[in-house]
Structure formats: structure tokens, C-alpha cells
Structure 1
Amino acid sequence: MKKQVKVKPNSKKQDIKELADGTLAVNLKSPPVDGKANQELIELLAEKFKVSKSQVRIKLGLSSKNKLIEIDL
């Protein structure tokens, strides 16, 4: 499954919302430094979709706020 994700790092709280167009809006506590926000994103999505972290991959947008995520279900 592929999902468009809009990430907001340095947020006060972690949460995931699904927007009307199916895009996930994800607030992350981590700063976008040294891949910390990407790591937190992978952990959150793995927890939400009940898969292991290795089943969640960032396909596009490693250094962007807009990402394409692939999840093996």
C-alpha cells in the first residue's frame, strides 16, 4: 500500500490524521535533523498499521515535508 504523507516536525504532540483526499497528516515531536523525524515517522506508521518497522519505507521525499510511504501489509 502506498500513502501520501504530509509531515510536520517539531510539534508539541504526536498524532496522525487522515485528510479528505486520503493523505495522512502526521505531527512529529522530533526535529528534522539526522533523520530523527523520518525514524519517528516510520515508528508511528508501523504502530498505526500494526506492522514491523521494516515493512514501512519512505519511497520519495526523504528530506521533504511531503513524502510517499510504502507499507507492506
Structure 2
Amino acid sequence: MSLIKVAEADAAGWKCSACGVDLVYKPVELEYLDSLFNVALPVCPQCNMVFISESLAGGKMNQVEHLLEDK
């Protein structure tokens, strides 16, 4: 399975609200409708909370969701 890369500009300057540390890009496994996707997303290096920006959730992820539902 290939790794999908998300534009790094989406996470520029973001910090974890719980830990207060800068987010770093790490591979994350996402599951939707029994399909798995490896995506490089901003993650807190301490608590591993994943950040999904509003533009990503409402844009690219929404497009993929509709494509998968149409299958």
C-alpha cells in the first residue's frame, strides 16, 4: 500500500493542545468503508493525536468518501 502525502502547509505552526509540542508528519493508517489508507498526517510526537485540518476533511477526504460510496 502506498503512502498518500498531504501538503505540509496545512500543519505549519500547529501545536498539540494537550502537550504543547509542535506536530510532526508521520504515516497514519485510516480506515473507511473497509478500505485502509496510509496517509502522512501531522501527529503529536508525545500523545500521538492526529490532526486533520478542516480543509482536508471537507475537501480531499470528502471527495474520497464520495468515490468510495459510489463503488
Query: Taking CA–CA contacts closer than 8 Å with sequence separation of 6 or more, which of the two structures ends up with the larger relative contact order?
Result: 1
Same fold per superposition (TM over 0.5)? no
Structure with a larger share of its residues in strand: 1
State the TM-score bracket (shorter-chain normalisation): under 0.3
**TM-score of the aligned structures, taking structure 2 as reference length:** 0.24
